[in-house]
Amino acid sequence: MNSKNTLLLITGILIISFAQAQNVPTAFSKRDSAFFSQPYPYILPVLGTKVHEAKIRLPYPVGIMFNTLVGEQFLSLSDIALGFGKYSSTSEPNMIDLSEVIEFEDIRAQTSTFNLRVDTWLLPFVNVYGIVGQTKKADINVNLVEPFPLDVTTEVSGTYVGFGAMAAGAVGPVFVSLDVNRTYNYNPRLDDPAKVLIGGLRTGPVFRFKNNPEMNISLWTGAMYSHFNGETDGSIAALDLAPNAPAEIENKLNNLHEWYDGLKPVEQLLYKNIYEKLDNGLTELKEGVEDGYIRYSFNKKINNPWNMLIGAQWQLNYRWQLRAEAQFLGDRTAGLFSLNYRFGIRGKNWLSKK
């Protein structure tokens, strides 16, 4: 049945990116008199000299962070269409709208991903960064409700790049940060990268150690918003979809015929056009499997884009921080673990008169 083909296509191209952008500000200390007795040594952040003169210890302006995350994301699909084409033909295949006959439960993606993030404090309260990452494993489960029950699970992987910015500050022992990032997720079966927008608001206390001013522990709670670009288009070779073709495609044809024969007469009249197009497309695909491919398009969305989060950071010293965060509620559940190293690039502080 071609609906199963559609499921395999969808599970093969959906990559759920969990690129993170958290960067809780380090606690500032006024105790390092030797540091404050010298001019501010780094080119960033802009206005760093002004803050230094106020005897506020800024974090090192540049950071390299390694993040790893495991989690689960739910999605829903709509407006699904398929087309059967040949690589030897220059014409695009005619698309078959399957929205009337296919109904899904929410799609569940369980993923394991890691990324490297490089950031810098452009201003004392504004951080900008870039991300590059790899989705090591994404087990995507799709449950078809109509026209017949079917459960399909597949494993995919992909790479992603992105950028973001964060505004942060502190009032006494409490910090607040607002973070937004955009990532582009690549897969060879997609025409264009999948775009993901993530925003997060975090706030919480910073606990300092009297005998060690470089060390502190930060705790926070907050909320996060996730958004995917809805439209997805791509194609997949027939041999990638059905490695045992043409026998596997023959099985799909038999499933299609069984589904149609089991419909009531009124339903057969209603779905006759779709059935005939799928039957012809699969038959042509079976006869020329090495030259054939399937074109697809659909819309995806997150029904509940908001979720809560809690987290903690242990700053070992001004250079090293360890971090963990849990994301829950909504359609997203995840656990994040991070290691961050910070340093500065020495030179005249930008826009400083000294």
23-57 pLDDT tens trace: 444 434 556 778 888 999 999 999 999 988 888 88
* Residue indicated by tokens 């505004």: 167
pLDDT class for 125, splitting at 50, 70, 90?
A: very high
Instruction: Assess whether pLDDT exceeds 80 at residue 128.
Output: yes
Q: What is the pLDDT of residue 215?
A: 93
Q: In the chain, where do the E strands start and end?
A: 62-86, 96-97, 103-104, 107-123, 126-146, 150-171, 174-186, 194-209, 212-228, 231-237, 292-301, 306-315, 320-328, 332-343
> 293: how many CB neighbours lie within 10 A of its CB?
20
Is residue 171 in some structural domain? Answer: yes
Instruction: Assess whether pLDDT exceeds 90 at residue 131.
Output: yes
More confident residue, 247 or 120: 120
Is residue 168 in some structural domain? Answer: yes
Residues 6+ apart with CB under 8 A from 90: none
Instruction: Assess whether pLDDT exceeds 90 at residue 127.
Output: yes
Is residue 38 in some structural domain? Answer: yes
> 141: how many CB neighbours lie within 10 A of its CB?
16
Q: What is the pLDDT of residue 24?
A: 42
Distances (CA, A) of 43 to 60, 66, 342, 344, 354: 11, 24, 14, 8, 12
Is residue 175 in some structural domain? Answer: yes
Is residue 287 in some structural domain? Answer: yes
pLDDT class for 340, splitting at 50, 70, 90?
A: very high
Is residue 177 in some structural domain? Answer: yes
pLDDT class for 3, splitting at 50, 70, 90?
A: very low
Q: What is the pLDDT of residue 142?
A: 60
- Domains in the chain, number: 1
Q: What is the pLDDT of residue 145?
A: 61
User: Which amino acid does the sequence have at 56?
Assistant: I
Give the pair of three-digit tokens for residue 55: 């005897």
Instruction: Assess whether pLDDT exceeds 50 at residue 322.
Output: yes
More confident residue, 114 or 24: 114
Q: Could you tell me whether strands 292-301 and 231-237 are parallel, antiparallel, or unpaired per DSSP bridges?
A: antiparallel
Which of the given ranges, 233-242, 293-302, 327-336, has the highest pLDDT on average?
327-336
Q: What does the pLDDT look like over 205-257, one tens digit per residue?
A: 999 898 888 999 999 999 999 988 777 788 888 887 767 778 878 887 888 88
Spatial distance between the Cα atoms of 147 and 263, rounded to a whole number of angstroms: 9
Is 192:233 a contact under the CB 8 Å cutoff?
yes
φ, ψ at 270 (rounded to 5°): -65, -40
> 27: how many CB neighbours lie within 10 A of its CB?
23
More confident residue, 322 or 151: 322
Q: What does the pLDDT look like over 57-93, one tens digit per residue?
A: 899 999 999 999 998 888 887 888 888 899 998 888 9
User: Which amino acid does the sequence have at 221?
Assistant: T
pLDDT above 70 as % of the chain: 83
More confident residue, 352 or 326: 326
Spatial distance between the Cα atoms of 313 and 323, rounded to a whole number of angstroms: 4
Is residue 350 in some structural domain? Answer: no
Is residue 105 in some structural domain? Answer: yes
Q: What angle do CA 134, 160, 300 make, to 5 degrees?
A: 110
The b-or-e profile of 201-233 (16+ CB within 10 A means b, else e) is ebbbebebeeeebbebebebebebebebbeebe
pLDDT above 90 as % of the chain: 40
Average pLDDT, the chain: 82
Q: How confident is the model over 263-274, as a mean pLDDT?
A: 90
Instruction: Assess whether pLDDT exceeds 90 at residue 303.
Output: no
Spatial distance between the Cα atoms of 260 and 112, rounded to a whole number of angstroms: 39
Instruction: Assess whether pLDDT exceeds 60 at residue 14.
Output: no
Q: What does the pLDDT look like over 152-192, one tens digit per residue?
A: 555 567 899 999 999 998 888 899 999 999 999 887 767 78
Task: Locate all alpha helices (DSSP H) within the chain, ordered by sequence.
Answer: 2-13, 33-36, 48-53, 238-241, 247-261, 265-287
* Residue indicated by tokens 């009249």: 269
Full domain range(s) for residue 18: 2-343
Instruction: Assess whether pLDDT exceeds 70 at residue 8.
Output: no
